[in-house]
């Protein structure tokens, strides 16, 4: 019932596929493998609503078994539906997610909150899922990966977070390595100014 109908915020905060032993004081609801397919389908439903951040910030994506379960559910979709989901960016920024994001000197942690699931796959280094989605939606997704002028590209995220295999893969696909991110100049008390307008590499 929780996985089908519970609040997505509760799922993000408490539902896990493996116990997190580093956080002994937190409440954790562990989903056994036989129920993880339900969780994967719930995440796909939420992606259709543009809830990429709430989905991909869940630590379940650090579990290789769940990653395979999620991939199986994705691959069961029709090609056109899969492409539509993976290229859907949220219309507005989720302010709750803005408050909990991991902060770095990059503007990338800010930019990801308005990005597509493809950007999230690159941000998290989910290589197997990216390859499978690309192979199923090849023509459409190749065009999509190469035609994102005006904002941060998947290559910005994968390079920014050090996922070298995906960097190589995207360069082989033919993405523009010189396309600059279109982000604002910002200021933070601890790190000072950090700049937009940088190329991915």
Q: What is the pTM of this model?
A: 0.85
d(CA 9, CA 98): 14
More confident: 153 or 182: 153
* Residue ranges of domains in the chain, CATH in brackets: 1-76 (no CATH), 90-201 (1.25.40.20)
**Token code pair at residue 58:** 């869940």
- Given a cut of 60, is residue 105 above it in pLDDT? no
Q: Determine what percent of the chain is predicted with pLDDT higher than 70.
A: 79
Confidence band (pLDDT; 50, 70, 90) for 13?
confident
Say what the pLDDT of residue 196 is.
61
d(CA 61, CA 54): 12
Question: At which residue do the structure tokens 């990216």 appear?
Answer: 130
pLDDT digit string, tens, across residues 20-72: 877 667 789 999 999 999 999 999 999 999 888 889 989 899 999 999 999 99
Collect all residues with Cβ–Cβ distance below 8 Å to 4 and sequence separation of at least 6: 38, 42
Say what the pLDDT of residue 75 is.
96
Say what the pLDDT of residue 127 is.
95
pLDDT digit string, tens, across residues 159-170: 988 999 999 999
Q: How many residues does the chain have?
A: 201
User: Stretch 126-152: mean pLDDT, rounded?
Assistant: 77
Alpha-helical runs (H) found in the chain: 2-5, 8-14, 36-48, 52-56, 64-75, 79-86, 95-100, 108-111, 117-124, 127-136, 138-146, 154-160, 164-173
Average pLDDT, the chain: 83
- Given a cut of 50, is residue 150 above it in pLDDT? no
The answer to whether 91 and 49 are in contact (CB under 8 A) is: no
- Given a cut of 80, is residue 96 above it in pLDDT? no
More confident: 181 or 106: 181
User: Stretch 111-118: mean pLDDT, rounded?
Assistant: 82
More confident: 196 or 175: 175
Q: Which residues of 84-111 are buried (b: 16+ CB within 10 A; e: fewer)?
A: ebbbbebeeebeebeeebeeeebbbbbb
- Given a cut of 80, is residue 145 above it in pLDDT? no
- Given a cut of 60, is residue 84 above it in pLDDT? yes
């Amino acid at each position: 019932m929780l996985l089908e109908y519970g609040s997505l915020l509760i799922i993000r905060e408490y539902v896990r596929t493996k116990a997190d032993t580093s956080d002994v004081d937190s409440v954790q609801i562990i989903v056994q493998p036989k129920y993880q397919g339900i969780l994967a389908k719930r995440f796909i439903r939420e992606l259709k609503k543009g809830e990429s951040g709430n989905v991909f910030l869940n630590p379940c994506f650090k579990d290789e078994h769940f990653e395979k379960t999620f991939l199986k559910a994705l691959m069961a979709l029709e090609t056109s539906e899969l492409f539509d989901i993976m290229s859907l960016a949220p219309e507005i920024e989720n302010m709750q997610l803005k408050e909990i994001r991991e902060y770095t000197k990059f503007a990338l942690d800010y930019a990801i909150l308005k990005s597509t699931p493809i950007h999230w796959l690159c941000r998290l280094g989910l290589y197997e899922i990216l390859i499978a989605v690309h192979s199923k939606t090849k023509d459409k997704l190749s065009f999509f990966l190469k035609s994102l002028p005006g904002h941060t590209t998947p290559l910005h995220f994968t390079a920014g977070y050090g996922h070298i295999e995906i960097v190589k893969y995207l360069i082989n696909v033919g993405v523009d390595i010189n396309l600059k991110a279109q982000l604002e100049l910002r200021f933070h008390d601890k790190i000072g100014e950090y700049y937009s307008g940088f190329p991915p590499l």
